[in-house]
Structure 1
Amino acid sequence: MTETLLVTGASGQLGRGVIHHLLDTLKVAPTQVIATTRDPASLADLAARGVTVRAADFNDKASLTSAFEGADRVLIISTGDLDLKSGKRLKQHETAVAAAKEAGVSHLLYTSMPNPEPVSPVLFAGDHYGTEQAIKESGIPYTIFRNGWYQENLFMSLPHAIASGHWYTSAADGRTAHGARDDMAAAIAAGLASGSRESKTYTLTGPQAYTVAEIAALVTEVTGKPLEVIQLPDEALTEGVKAAGVPEDFARIIVSLDANTRSGRINMVTDAIETLSGRKPKSLKQFLEANKAALAG
């Protein structure tokens, strides 16, 4: 029997990437794919290709249960609601897991983060850990993708750092193997379309882990612009990020990512992207070269 594959958050960058790889790389028939979003009009292009588009609101269990109806394998892409005080995102994910069980989904897939256990310094790690536990407790066979940090996340800090010549961080000598979002989307699409019944967890990373100083050296090599790394304590970095106009809660999240890097909890390098997708992941230098103009202005 041909399985129906469903992707939540299909209007987001990762969701669209996954669906692109399902249709164009893996040649999954559009009639086997369901794309869900809060605003179905935003996916008119996919509907025109024959993909089934359904409305789904993570704050409304009935809408999720209805959207998941008839789907064999469901990919829950974590939502973007990072309200640290309300626990909103974990509630949304738990609602989605319950809806999947109610709808009779046979395999559940989820985009998590590396090492989300309660000791993680990352302030939103609990959302992912709690979701992983809810999936395991549901009894539905699962695939968990623990996505490492995207190379594209560097757009949040590098343009300003390059322009000023100073990169402020509290990551010390911790390493990160940034991976390309599209490489992760290709791996996730392959896992979604695999038909695997086995419960597995994959950590998706780029091909090499670098310290901030090593990334800065690569940036200088590619752009020709000097970039000095300035290490700060977490508290001073938080105040600096806030002074740049970032709201306090988000500033604390940003700094918690540096603390996580410093702790060594994001320094792993895996071959999961190549194992799942059959393609070699893009290197950080390739990313910097491809985005030189956008990064360096």
Structure 2
Amino acid sequence: MTTVVVTGATGNVGRHVVSELGRRGIPYRALTRNLERATAVLGPGADLAQGDFSDRDSLRAAFVGAEQAFLSCANDPRQVENAANAIEAAATAGVRQIVLLSTVGAEVGAAQTFADQHGRIEHRLRSAGIPFVILRSGFLMSNLLGSLPTIGQAGRIFLPADDARVAMIDPRDVAACAVAALCGQRGDGETHLITGPEAMTFTEVARQLSTALGRTVEYVAVPDEAALAGMLEAGLPPWLAEGVMGTFQMLREGIAADTTDSVRQLTGHDPRPVADFAHDLMAPLLTR
């Protein structure tokens, strides 16, 4: 049976890809730098391969014998180089399909750093000669987890989104789309924009969170300068803080306001609403 290499295996989407592959009985190899953390996230029965995007030998070893790959690279100044190293290792190993996790607005030369990086990764994959499917994820609901401390302490979400409408997507639905593509339900060269069921403002999101979490949650719009200063004060590196600010600028410009039926096309089910994500994956963390 086909072995799937999963990069970014402990990430917000990757962990659900691993879970779904395991549920289906599809052999996988989860690439991780930290075996202890990966075991804690994925469980003691996870098939792990220790490696690093910057260590080409470890990448080649991880891909030996694999036929497919789910490629997800965390935001990093070297993100394009990291992805290119993984694509090269996959090509050397004879991998016959890569499913790439990209982002809405991905384009070479995009003004926003993360969109530009993903655009360059897409370009590299398209020229690699390996069959591929690209999933351009909308704004992930898991980004809301960053607001758990202020929800718990003050019942508020502080973000620089103004009244942007965002069709945010549950990472479990993105993972389900990835596994569907890995199972051969979509053809080579396809690109899918993966969105949630409806575009909502963060004020509307806060109302859904209030119901799902059983506590009042309010959204507070934060000026860009204050948001950037807060992230830097919290210890985020400047490149990451500036990248996040660029993402919110794109949200305010409407980059994530459209919805698609890609989740239903790929998986046969509708994408989950914010309330489901809050109930399943946010509420348990608030009660700890």
Give deviations 1:169-214, integer Å, cap 9, x for gaps: 3323321122222222122112112265521111222111111222
Contact 1:167-1:228 at 8 Å conserved across structures? yes
197, 202, 220: which is aligned to 1:212?
A: 202
User: Cα distance 1:206–1:47, how it changes in 2: closer, same or farther (>3 A)?
Assistant: closer
RMSD: 3.0
Structure of larger gyration radius: 1
Between the aligned partners of 1:72 and 1:269, the Cα distance in structure 2 is 32
State whether structure 2 residue 72 is matched by structure 1 residue 77. yes
**Counterpart secondary structure, 2:144:** helix
Q: How much has 1:267 moved relative to structure 2?
A: 1.5
State whether structure 2 residue 29 is matched by structure 1 residue 38. no
Corresponding letter in the other structure for 2:196:
G
Q: How much has 1:268 moved relative to structure 2?
A: 2.2
218, 222, 240: which is aligned to 1:227?
A: 218
Give the structure 2 partner of residue 16 of structure 1: 15
Give the structure 2 partner of residue 178 of structure 1: 168
User: Cα distance 1:152–1:295, how it changes in 2: closer, same or farther (>3 A)?
Assistant: farther
Contact 1:121-1:260 at 8 Å conserved across structures? no
State whether structure 2 residue 233 is matched by structure 1 residue 239. no
Contact 1:18-1:189 at 8 Å conserved across structures? yes
Q: TM-score, normalised by structure 2?
A: 0.84
41, 52, 58: which is aligned to 1:57?
A: 52
Query: For structure 1, which segment, 239-248 or 276-285, has the greater mean C-alpha deviation from structure 2 after superposition?
Result: 239-248
User: Cα distance 1:72–1:296, how it changes in 2: closer, same or farther (>3 A)?
Assistant: closer
Between the aligned partners of 2:92 and 2:84, the Cα distance in structure 1 is 12
User: Equivalent pairs: percent with the same residue?
Assistant: 29
**Counterpart secondary structure, 1:131:** helix
Between the aligned partners of 1:47 and 1:168, the Cα distance in structure 2 is 33
**Counterpart secondary structure, 2:99:** strand
Corresponding letter in the other structure for 1:82:
D
**Counterpart secondary structure, 1:145:** strand
Between the aligned partners of 1:70 and 1:287, the Cα distance in structure 2 is 36
Consecutive unaligned residues in structure 1, runs of 5 or more:
none
User: Cα distance 1:273–1:60, how it changes in 2: closer, same or farther (>3 A)?
Assistant: same
Query: Where do residues 71-220 of structure 1 align in structure 2 (5 Å cutoff)?
Result: 71-78=66-73, 80-83=74-77, 88-118=78-108, 120-157=110-147, 159-160=149-150, 163-164=153-154, 167-194=157-184, 196-220=186-210
Give deviations 1:131-187, integer Å, cap 9, x for gaps: 100001112111111122221211212541564455443323321122222222122
**Counterpart secondary structure, 1:54:** strand
Between the aligned partners of 1:236 and 1:36, the Cα distance in structure 2 is 37
Give the structure 2 partner of residue 286 of structure 1: 276
User: Cα distance 1:16–1:226, how it changes in 2: closer, same or farther (>3 A)?
Assistant: closer
Between the aligned partners of 2:219 and 2:10, the Cα distance in structure 1 is 37
Contact 1:162-1:226 at 8 Å conserved across structures? no
Kindly tell me the number of residue pairs found equivalent between the two proteins. 285
Q: TM-score, normalised by structure 1?
A: 0.82
